[in-house]
Structure 1
Amino acid sequence: MNTPLWAVLSTLGAAVVALAVVEVVHQVLLRLGRRYVLLRELADHAYRPAQASMAIFAIEGGVRATAGTFAGRDLVVHLLTLAVIAGFAWLTAALALVVEDVALQTFRTDVPDNLRARKRQTQVRVLRRVTVAAVVVVTVGVMLTTFPHIRAVGASLLASAGIIGVVAALAAQSTLGNIFAGLQLTFSNALRLDDVVVVEDEWGRIEEITLTTVIVQIWDDRRLVMPTTYFTTRPFENWTRTGSAVLGTAEFDLDWSVPVQEMREELRTLMEGSHLWDGRVCVLQVIDAVGGTIKVRALISAGDAPTLWDLRCLVREHFVGWIRDRQPTSLPRVRAEVGDGANRLAWQWVRPSAAHDVRPGRRNIPMEPDDDARIFGGDPEGEARAAEFEGPPDPARPGGTRT
């Protein structure tokens, strides 16, 4: 029975049996995959690699068992061994892809509160790239060990390999630094997929994180390609580090005659009528008063950064019309006094008003501003915001007041 025909038929038969076993397992996984995501992903992604690896493994075993001795047998067996190693490496990489797909389906990012999902997705994607890279390196290393001459000369090349390794490490210092920086970013949660960031004065979102680069999609659909070491060595703004809700401002330079309280009430009315506002923060304050103008700042909140941008533009556009049409005297002006040397000017003879007299005993004078005039107080949100910027309680002060 040790004939060439028998060797060929037995080898092909072993390959057919291996393919039949893979097909049966594939059909079983397809049926069970209707209820289990993991099994469905295994059936989809591991089918072809399993066919290739099992068929080559069966052929290699058949040649070893039945082919006997023939010209070029060692070369054929060696090539089949290399193919088996490559096939199982392909299967291992496919299994890594299965794990990634299952994890990505488990952590959905198309929901409002997707902070945890984005963190896990970032880690899974980076780990998959590391795993695939490790599989390739290990596969090449195992293939090289199948060459006897390479193993034989390995000891004699140890010293020179050390020198070459040092040179290679110095040459690849930047690349290795980027790889370790990518791993650091992934597991320190300093940066995640879909995070909104400000980098190099550009506002955008993290589109992709690889082992060496970070792709930032800028708001106008440009792409900013940054090395991962940039985010570990230089400061940058992350607007969604702990959540997507953010605060934003709209500032106005106005005349001293502007009715601030009326403007504050107008802001509240505008926010309550807009679907862009998330209902958290609506504050208007005078933050500067120097020279001939005052600076009024509206602080507002939205559920995410794109919505906040539209909301800030809405506030600016609304108050441009409101000040122009209803408070034209509040527009910035440059004043010049024209009078005689005795300073007998009309404004000097106007009786002072008590509208802003905050001395004790005055009636109908509010001693505290309303909620829309305070960022760090007035409501539970403001009190919580103030507590985040206070120091630890001081036991030496009455009531343990924070320092």
Structure 2
Amino acid sequence: MTTTGGAVTAAAWNWATVAIAVAAAIVAVELVRRVLKSRLIGERWALAGPFVRRCTWPGFASAVVGTVKAAYDPGMPGSDSRGFQRLLALLLIACVTWLMIQAAYAVTDVVLDRLTRVEGERNRRARRIRTQIALVRRVSAAVVVVLALGAMLFTFPQVRALGAGLLASAGIAGVVGGIAAQSTLGNMLAGLQLAFSDALRLDDVVVVEDEWGRIEELTLTYVALRLWDERRLILPVSYFTTNPFENWTRHESRILGSVYLRVDWSIPVEEVRTELYRALRNNPLWDQKDWTLQVTDITPEGLVELRALMSAADSASAFDLRCDIREHLVTFIRDKHPESLPRLRVETPARR
């Protein structure tokens, strides 16, 4: 009876020790979180915000599970300590993996946020680096998860050989994966090829399947294209390695825009050219570089075609600038030169 009572007392003391240790771990993590949050308020450390946002819950989970595993006495009588220890080991591996991935994402979030705000001549290089970082961290997260699964297998003696094979032999995983998911692996390789060949970047302006849009998301398996009317066109990554597409911002973000006007032969071209330059100088969307006004064609209806060419920092600015200039020139011709508005001439034979 005394032995039983002593065992119960020992078990109760063991669990009390575990509870105290868990409480201390939670308090420690909360203190760290508060310190990081205070740094965030003062903006004294750029990593504070991403760490607080991404690592709070993984940190609590890792601290609790790790503390329980360290404080728990496996020799406590009357309990299935082997099974409980294995469960704690599996949970600890999962929590630490979660924490590592979120910490890596927090570090790269700072870089990606700074690159998002880069404009001007360095914008193209910034978008290329953003694309590569986004894909590399996805690949890294997948590798960490695979390694964690292999470590979990090591906790089971019956399948330890399988775990060793998963960790040490990438060839087996490649063969199995290639047989089971050829299209998925093909898309993953295509995604890495696009990112590191600089053929496609986030925020690139492309024309695909006769649709104009901007690259909104580029993953290892698919590309999300945000169209001009806010629709989303989802395409597999392999599409961009096997089909032609237009990339309007391949070498630089700056782009040329054109406005076409069809007017009467009486239009004073030089005066319209002067008015175009005046309108561009007063428009903040113009990048102060290229512009011209040319007579480019005579239409079958007998009208003169004018083309106003102008440059802008990016495709979105170019579209708005074209709309502004088109509206300005239409108003100018209508108010100042109404005789030059489009008209059709019909010649009738004279009566005898």
TM-score (norm 2): 0.78
Q: Distance in 1 between matches of 2:243 and 2:165?
A: 45
> Which residue matches 2:306?
296
Q: How many residues align?
A: 335
Does structure 1 retain, via aligned residues, the 8 Å contact 2:131–2:201?
Answer: yes
Match of 1:107 among 106, 115, 119: 115
Hey, what's the Cα distance between the residues in 2 that align with 1:278 and 1:152? 64
Q: Which residue is equivalent to 1:130?
A: 139
Say if 1:72 and 1:122 are closer, same or farther in 2 by CA, change over 3 A: same
**1:355-374 map, 5 Å:** none
- Deviation readout 1:285-341 (Å, 9 max, x if unpaired): 2334586555432212233323322332344444445556626367464675959xx
Alignment partner of 1:97 out of 70, 85, 105: 105
Of 108-117 and 306-315, more deviation after overlay is shown by 108-117
Matching of residue 77 in structure 1 with residue 85 in structure 2: yes
Rounded Cα–Cα distance in structure 2 between residues aligned with 1:129 and 1:155 = 24
Aligned CA distance change for structure 1 residues 259 and 44 (closer, same or farther; 3 Å):
closer
Q: Is the 8 A contact 1:108 1:114 kept in 2?
A: no
Tell me the distance in 2 between the aligned counterparts of 1:47 and 1:290.
67
User: In the alignment, does 2:232 pair up with 1:223?
Assistant: yes
Q: How much has 1:83 moved relative to structure 2?
A: 0.9
* Contact 2:74-2:81 at 8 Å conserved across structures: no
Matched to 2:100, the amino acid is T
Task: Note the C-alpha offset of 1:265.
Answer: 2.9
Task: Give the gaps of 5 or more residues in structure 2.
Answer: 1-5
Contact 1:202–1:218 under 8 Å retained in 2: yes
Tell me the TM-score normalised to structure 1 length.
Answer: 0.70
Hey, what's the Cα distance between the residues in 2 that align with 1:310 and 1:97? Answer: 35
Instruction: Report the counterpart of residue 203 of structure 1 in structure 2.
Output: 212
Counterpart of 2:46?
Answer: 37
Contact 2:58 2:99 (8 Å CA) reproduced: yes
1:310 aligns to 2:338 (yes or no): no
The residue number in structure 2 matching 1:265 is 274
- 2:18 pairs with 1:8: no
Give the match for residue 149 of structure 2.
Answer: 140
User: Kindly tell me: are residues 250 and 143 of structure 1, through their superposed partners in 2, closer, same or farther at Cα, counting changes over 3 Å?
Assistant: same
Q: Distance in 2 between matches of 1:151 and 1:210?
A: 33
Q: Distance in 1 between matches of 2:165 and 2:317?
A: 66
Match of 1:173 in 2: 182
1:88 Cα shift? 0.8
Q: Which has the larger radius of gyration?
A: 1
Deviation of 1:182 (Å):
2.0
Work out which structure has the larger RCO, using CA pairs closer than 8 Å and 6 or more positions apart in sequence.
2
Distance 1:170 1:315, change over 3 A: same
For the residues of structure 1 that align with 2:71 and 2:31, how far apart are their CA atoms? 21
More helix by share: 2
* SS of match in other structure, 1:107: helix
1:58 to 33, 49, 67: 67
- Give the AA of the match of 1:310: D
2-structure distance, mates of 1:194, 1:258? 40
Task: Give the direction of change, closer, same or farther, for the CA distance of 1:95–1:154 in structure 2 (3 Å limit).
Answer: closer
State the shift of 1:85 in Å: 0.8
How far apart, CA to CA, are the structure 2 residues paired with 1:278 and 1:61?
Answer: 63
Change (3 A) 1:280 1:133: same
**What RMSD over aligned residues (CA atoms) do the two structures have, in Å?**
3.6
User: Could you say if the C-alpha distance between residues 9 and 246 of structure 1 is closer, same or farther in structure 2, counting changes exceeding 3 Å?
Assistant: same
> Does the 8 Å contact 1:256/1:330 carry over to 2?
no
2:238 aligned counterpart, secondary structure: helix
Instruction: Note the C-alpha offset of 1:76.
Output: 1.2
Evaluate the alpha carbon distance shift between residue 29 and residue 253 of structure 1 in structure 2; reply closer, same or farther with a 3 A threshold.
Answer: closer
Q: Give a deviation string over 1:45-81, Cα, whole Å, max 9, x none.
A: 3333222212212222333x45345452221111111
Q: Which amino acid aligns with 1:279?
A: Q
Q: Percent identity?
A: 43
Name the stretch that deviates more: 122-131 or 202-211: 122-131
